[in-house]
Amino acid sequence: MTTTTDTDRVLIFDTTLRDGEQSPGATMTHDEKLEIAGLLDEMGVDIIEAGFPIASEGDFKAVSEIAANARNAVICGLSRANLGDIDRCWEAVRNAKQPRIHTFIGTSPQHRAIPNLTRDEMADLIHQTVTHARNLCDNVQWSPMDATRTEWDYLARVVEIAIKAGATTINIPDTVGYTAPVESADLIRRLIAEVPGAADVVFSTHCHNDLGMATANSLAAVAGGARQIECTINGLGERAGNTALEEVVMALKVRHDIMPWQTGIDTSRIMNISRRVSTVSGFPVQFNKAVVGKNAFAHESGIHQDGMLKSADTFEIMRPEDIGLAGTSLPLGKHSGRAALRDKLRQLGYDVGDNQLRDIFVRFKELADRKKEVFDDDIVALMRAGEDPANDRLQVVSMKVVCGTGGPAESTVEMEIDGEDLSATAHGDGPVDATFKAIRKLFPNNAHLELYQVHAVTEGTDAQATVSVRLGEDGMIATGQSANTDTVVASARAYVNALNRLLVRREKTGPGSDMREISYKDVN
């Protein structure tokens, strides 16, 4: 593992599977967590925060399996400041080649009020819990949650206590995205300069994006002396999200002239894992998202296009290839064969087996019959469509929709529910409303539609539409996605996908909502 003597090396601590998954609606299945962890390990992430083992049996199992399978990365689990949490965390990560316990407590006045502890009582608890963690594991990270709103004298005091108790990494979280870059740098710099023992540990930064400054604050912290950045793929996370891994990594790479630090990330893998996290979390990447957004390398202005034709570096500070995008986007068509499709999938970061290739080739041919040209984003959408679990309880079999200006829309939906074919017809204010009502007839539920979003995968009237649906029920939230050249079909499948995810959430929390009682399958 990199040590504090490597002053030009910045460790990348990815918390997509922990803090990222806490984003409402972003829950991942067991297999999806293992897959994302494997991709993070392959791309060179130094530390993977695999989850919060005490939170649930499912989280414990996922962290344990990720720890057992990791090849290179340190595997970290999160625990609150109590001995039971720490023991459970250690049990989950202990089989990793490089395990880490990450324990935390909120130290700001706002957070100290929650457990109703005095300063001295909290200081004693920090000493006790960090000492206990260090007795179990020689790699211990400690975080004073909401550090940027903690009084300086108390923050310095508890950081010193944690260091003396054996913490090897001190993480300084901007939990609510409150700080600014100049403050972020100064805080790290001052802690390193004034706290006894600070020179012997790694300082880390964990920034949230509530004011849109997470990346700037993280890079400023590095300038102040931090040598670990906590981040997530696509900036996924609670509220406005976390520091985006792709942004800090590419910033350090592109502006190495003024930020002379390096990471161990293979940046050519960024685009593939960005797409995969978007798929499994159900959170689309905004078109103008830095580095990985659809428009990040798009140029429409005549002046920009003219400059690009003459020399790419006139308007591009990064090459698409640097993050794993193909240099060209030549479309496929209905006459393209399996070899061309496999080659295109490899360019897009998908290494598929023969059986999977046969499956996607069938769907590719069906799409090519409806579209003249099939572009890269169409292929990615096809892959996402094929990644939906085959054992979902609810599946759309067929649909017939009638709509127009003469009256309310009518939708007839046939579904397979627990292996039984059922059909229902409903009317509504438009084809999507009628379709959703038909689905609710077939599978009664009280889930509230919190988000319905449509965007075209490519251009043209024959473009595939990607639909995102977010449902909430009794405090549980689930997001579903689907793509199809027929927007109503994509909408129905996305809605059903979200329902299936809600069922998984209900299985973990137990009965108690008004959704129809069912015998759950173990889809984790």
Annotated binding site for Mn(2+): 19, 206, 208, 242
The number of angstroms, rounded, from the C-alpha of 214 to the middle of its chain's C-alpha atoms is: 16
| Rounded Cα–Cα distance for residues 303 and 313 (Å) | 14
Contact assessment for residue 254 and residue 267, using Cβ atoms and an 8 Å cutoff: no
CA distance 522 to 397: 23
From the CB of residue 327, how many other CB atoms can be counted at a distance below 10 Å? 9
What gap in Å lies between CA 306 and CA 312, rounded to an integer? 10
Bind-site residues: 19, 206, 208, 242
Identify which of 109, 49, 103, 46 has the alpha carbon closest to the alpha carbon of residue 79: 103
Structural contact between residues 235 and 209, judged by C-beta atoms closer than 8 angstroms: yes
Largest CA distance in the chain: 78
Helix, strand, coil distribution of the chain in percent, nearest 5:
45, 20, 35
Torsion (CA) 96, 24, 479, 56 in degrees, nearest 10: 40
Residues contacting 288, CB < 8 A, separation 6+: 295, 296
Contact 1, 45 (CB under 8 A): no
Amino acid at 476: M
258 exposure class (CB count in 10 Å sphere: 0-12, 13-18, 19+): exposed
Residues 130, 124 contacting (CB under 8 angstroms): no
> What is the end-to-end Cα distance of the chain in Å, rounded?
32
| Nearest-angstrom CA–CA distance, 56 and 97 | 23
Residue 455's contacts (CB-CB under 8 Å, 6 or more residues apart) are 284, 287, 465, 466
